[in-house]
Every structure is written in structure tokens, then in C-alpha cells.
Amino acid sequence: MHFDTRCVRAGVQPDPTTGAIVPPIYQSATYVLEEVGRDKGFDYTRSSNPTRAVLEAALSGVEGAAHCATFASGMSAVDAVLRTLDAGDHVVSSDDVYGGVSRLFNTILARHGLSFTYVDSSFPERVADAIRPNTRLVWIETPTNPLLKVSDVAAVAAVAHAAGIPLGVDSTFATPALLRPLEWGADIVMHSTTKYLSGHNQIIGGAVLSDDAAFQEKMRYQQKSIGAIPSPFDCWLTLAGLKTLSLRMARHSENGMAVARYLSVHSKVARVTYPGLKSHPGHAVAKQQMSAFGGMISFELKGGLEAGRSLMNSVRLCSLAESLGAVETMITHPATMTHADVPREERLARGLTDSLVRLSVGIESADDIIADLDAALH
């Protein structure tokens, strides 16, 4: 089945009760048992819910994974994966990760006995050098948030597997439309379904996918024990968004390339980072493992922080907003918004400067997006 078809049809069957082509919202907390010890597959919605089950089947089909567990947010999905580790375990992580992930790792999980080493995972040899005897997980983002570094999933997987360690990939920016990490050797894939998968700024959610049945049981245990699960209505909205994922990502990628090319030659722009540009250090790897380059761009302005503030206060079509991956174009200042909790010295060491601007290019007319940026830049 082609990917476009999987987005529309995978995991979704007509409702067996009514024949409804759209899965119903089972807004129920509990389910009546037929008799003691015998149910119809559901007993309590924290454990499982019919609408959630359809979403998990659909996401499995789109990602090409055997198993999927959904969560109340991308962060709760990351937390669920990390909570399969024990005190004293060590994690090698990409150095450029979403600020919420840094916050979770450094200020919460570190207090419970986990330790973390951050490396530029664009260089697989640096991942190899960071592995210790107690390393139990390699965790990467590709492309990363917000610097859009690209990691070679197959190469990093080879490094991790040589040491007997699983590789987890946050593939939120790429989505299964552009990259399916399991096909390149990854063991775990995480998505913030808040972003491109739902695509319409309507829900908060997350998903963890794998081909490992034992790992899936651990995710089910996390869902049931901690209860950070998505509501049936949020699952239903995500299913609706998923149907247009292939179409949207094609438009996001087309617009992203057009906007990146415009910014790359603008006299007031110091630097543009977009995997689709040949100037990107990871362009060759991105071209090899991704079918297109997505809608995320980061760039720096000449004039530093004040120039960035002026730009973001002057746009009209682009929305100044924290999130990304929706049909609307959104512009963000990571240093004061998404990565504000990352200490400044740490941000600067990563290359995340005060003047960095992150742009989530939407599906509006590329001409209108460029016109808005052009007016703001002038």
C-alpha cells in the first residue's frame, strides 16, 4: 500500500455497529463486563479506549511499525520511554534537542538517578565515544529543534547496536511522510502528534512506536500506571488530521524550500539553516534518508537580538507562537520561548544564539509568506 493510501486508510475500518466510515468518539470512562472476567476488549479508558486503539493502529500503519502507544503529549511520550530505564543508567543524547526534553532530562530524570551525555549526533563517532558501560539508550532528534542538525539514522543505529544499545529517534520534524527511522535501523520512534501529524493546532499528544513486543508492553504499562493518555476526542481529531498528512507535508516542503531560498539571499539575513539547501552540512544525509526536507527553517539576522525582535513584532501573516507543524506559518524566538529554560551558556555552546529565529512554514501561498517576511525585514 502506498504511503498516501496508508495515511487515509491504515488501521481504520467502518464502525462494526453502524457502518460509519469515520470512527466514532467513544467518550466513555468505563465499560460493562459481560460477566466476571469477560469483557469485549475494554474495561477502563485509562487502560484502553476504542478510539485510541484506532489511532494507534493508524499511526502504526503510517510509520510502518508493529506497535504504537499514544500519550497525552510529546513530553509524556518521551518520559514514558526514559522511565523504562533504571537509576544509574546513562543516556547519550543529541546536544540540540527541544528545550522541554532538556528540562525533563536535566532537572527531573537526573534527580532520579539517570545521567546524560550530550553530543552532536551528526557525527556518529561522537556518539560512539560517549557510550559508557552503563549506557542503556541513545536518543537523537533529526532534524533537531531548533538548529535543524541532521543525523544519519543508519550510522547512529550501527554504533548503538554494536554496543548492544537501542536507538530512539524523535522524528517529529520529519514525520513518517519524509522519514521512517525504523526502516533505517532505529528501535524506537517518538512523535509529538501535536505538530505535523494532527497538523491543525487543535490537540496536544504524543506517540511511541516500535517493532518490539516486549517494549510495547512496557509502554502499555506506562499508559495504565501513570495515566498520561490522550482523550478520545483528541484521538479522533488526530485521526482526522492524519488523513491529509501526505498532502500537507508535500506543501510544507515545497513552501519551506521557497522561503529558505528567499532568505538565503536576503541582505539582512546572516545565515539560513534548512536541510534542503546545499549549504546545509547535513544536506547529503538528509537527501539520502528523507523524501523531502520539510517546513522547518532557522535563520539569524544581521543586527542580532534587536533585529530579531523587530522582525517578529512586524510580521502579520506569520503568527508569533510557540508551536510548529500546523497549517499556519508560525515564527518563534527560541532563546526567549521554546528554549528559555536552557541556560544561556548552554544555548550558546550549542550554537543557539540570541538572534536565532525559527520558522515553521505553513501551507499558505509561498508568495504570501515571503511577502510578509519581506515587509517585516524592511
* Active-site option among 149, 180, 195, 248: 195
- Is 46 among the residues known to form the active site? yes
Nearest-Å Rg of the Cα atoms of the chain is 21
How far is CA 46 from each of CA 228, 314, 316, 323, 363, rounded to the nearest angstrom? 8, 45, 42, 27, 35
- Is 278 among the residues known to form the active site? no
* Active-site option among 15, 46, 120, 218: 46
* Active-site option among 79, 95, 152, 170: 170
- Is 149 among the residues known to form the active site? no
Mention every residue, 6+ apart, whose C-beta is less than 8 A from residue 123: none
What order do you get walking across the sheet with 67-71 strand by strand? Answer: 67-71, 206-210, 188-191, 167-170, 135-141, 90-94, 115-119
- d(CA 156, CA 169) in angstroms, rounded, equals 10
* Active-site option among 6, 95, 96, 98: 98
Active site residues: 46, 98, 170, 195
